[in-house]
């Protein structure tokens, strides 16, 4: 009896295996793999581009007087910065004037040597430089100049404002605003229609993050370029940011209640949920990490 069951099961698995491999080989279903990297011009602008490499992206601005590059996005893949520069060189031969870091996390800023060697002045928030000097990562270029609150770069008829809106996903985030184009480049602290990931909340500052989002929202922008491509590659909207503020406000209120009831970290991480936001992408995968981080803040003061 037992043997017969086994044989039947094996036969079923074998058939299923055949079906799977037949499907895998079917020419009618080609895998739609996006190219490794791509450069796109931001619609409605004369000179604002997005360079994407796998799942990271950065903005660059081309002017007759030179190019402003942001985030080299080359952590563990030095070829990305090389490809980034090659892509710029297909558009312009103007000098690379600036390289601006969005914040100090390596996945966004490793690999800047290509741009430094091309003549760029490297700029970051003051705290990013302090961290990078301490950390001495071999593939991260130490910034030449720092910004504390705000700095405007004027180059070849374009203005780019570098603005610190406070601690959020890191303590060193600069947002980059093109006031004429009303385009903002902001990295890792605004998830487009999603619950922030484990990595996004790991190094973060609850409640200050909300304040930073509100300050960022108050800047005069209409479209946001994120540091990771949005759903179907779309840009961020003000509605995305408003939604994230609402999510974080409600999350904070729920975790605070649980914390005051002595439930942090356990059982709060398993129990506290904000079902109103369950339709956000990655809600199930990420909500526990968010509760855990906010529990650290309210429950332990960390
Ligand atoms: Zn980050």
Does 292 score more than 80 pLDDT?
A: yes
How far apart CA 225 and CA 109 sit, in angstroms, is 16
Does the reported pTM lie above 0.85?
yes
Centre of ligand 1 to C-alpha 204, Å, is 9
Centre of ligand 1 to C-alpha 262, Å, is 31
Centre of ligand 1 to C-alpha 56, Å, is 11
How far apart CA 152 and CA 154 sit, in angstroms, is 6
DSSP result, 186-236: E-SS--SSBPPPHHHHHT--TTHHHHHHHHHHTSS-SEEEESS--GGGPPB
Tokens of 176: 């980059």
221-266 pLDDT tens trace: 999 999 999 999 999 999 999 999 999 999 999 999 999 999 999 9
Centre of ligand 1 to C-alpha 160, Å, is 21
Candidate from 12-21, 31-40, 112-121, 243-252 with smallest mean pLDDT: 12-21
125-183 pLDDT tens trace: 999 999 999 999 999 999 999 999 999 999 999 999 999 999 999 999 999 999 999 99
Predicted confidence at residue 116, as pLDDT, reads 98
Q: Order of strands, edge to edge, in the sheet holding 158-164?
A: 150-155, 158-164, 174-178, 183-186, 223-226
How far apart CA 42 and CA 158 sit, in angstroms, is 15
Centre of ligand 1 to C-alpha 11, Å, is 49
Centre of ligand 1 to C-alpha 249, Å, is 21
Centre of ligand 1 to C-alpha 165, Å, is 15
Mean pLDDT of 115-126: 98
* Residue pair 140/122 in contact by the 8 Å Cβ criterion: no
* Residue pair 70/111 in contact by the 8 Å Cβ criterion: no
Domain architecture of the chain: domains with CATH:
37-300 (3.60.15.10)
Predicted confidence at residue 29, as pLDDT, reads 63
Name the residue among 92, 62, 71, 69 with its Cα closest to residue 157.
62
Name the residue among 205, 99, 94 with its Cα closest to residue 157.
94
Centre of ligand 1 to C-alpha 52, Å, is 16
Centre of ligand 1 to C-alpha 203, Å, is 8
Centre of ligand 1 to C-alpha 19, Å, is 42
Burial degree of 94 (CB within 10 A; 0-12, 13-18, 19+) = middle
Q: How confident is the model at residue 14 (pLDDT cuts 50, 70, 90)?
A: very low
Centre of ligand 1 to C-alpha 186, Å, is 11
Q: For the chain, give the mean pLDDT.
A: 92
Centre of ligand 1 to C-alpha 105, Å, is 5
């Amino acid at each position: 009896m037992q043997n017969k069951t086994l044989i039947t099961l094996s036969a079923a698995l074998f058939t299923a295996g055949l079906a799977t491999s037949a499907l895998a080989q079917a020419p009618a279903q080609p895998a739609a793999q996006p190219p490794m990297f791509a450069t796109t011009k931001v619609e409605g602008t004369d000179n604002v581009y997005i360079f994407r490499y796998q799942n990271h992206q950065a903005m660059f601005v081309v002017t007759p007087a030179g190019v402003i590059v942001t985030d080299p996005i080359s952590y563990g893949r030095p070829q990305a910065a090389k490809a980034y520069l090659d892509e710029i060189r297909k558009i312009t031969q103007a000098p690379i004037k600036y390289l601006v870091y969005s914040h100090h996390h390596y996945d966004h800023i490793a690999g800047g040597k290509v741009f430094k060697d091309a003549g760029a002045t490297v700029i970051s928030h003051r705290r990013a430089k302090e961290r990078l000097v301490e950390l001495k990562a071999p593939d991260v270029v130490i910034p030449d100049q720092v910004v504390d609150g705000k700095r405007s770069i004027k180059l070849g008829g374009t203005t780019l404002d570098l603005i610190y809106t406070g601690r959020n996903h890191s303590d060193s985030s600069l947002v980059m605003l093109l006031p004429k184009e009303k385009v903002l480049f902001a990295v890792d602290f605004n998830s487009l229609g999603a619950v922030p990931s484990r990595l996004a909340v790991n190094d973060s500052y609850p409640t200050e993050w909300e304040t930073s989002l509100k300050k960022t929202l108050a800047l005069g922008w209409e479209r946001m370029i994120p540091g990771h491509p949005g759903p179907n590659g779309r840009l961020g909207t003000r509605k995305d940011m408003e939604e994230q503020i609402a999510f974080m406000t409600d999350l904070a209120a729920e975790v605070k209640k649980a914390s005051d009831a002595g439930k942090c970290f356990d059982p709060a991480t398993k129990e506290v949920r904000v079902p109103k936001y369950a339709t956000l992408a990655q809600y199930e995968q990420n909500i526990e990490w968010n509760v855990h981080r906010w529990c650290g803040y309210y429950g332990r003061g960390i």
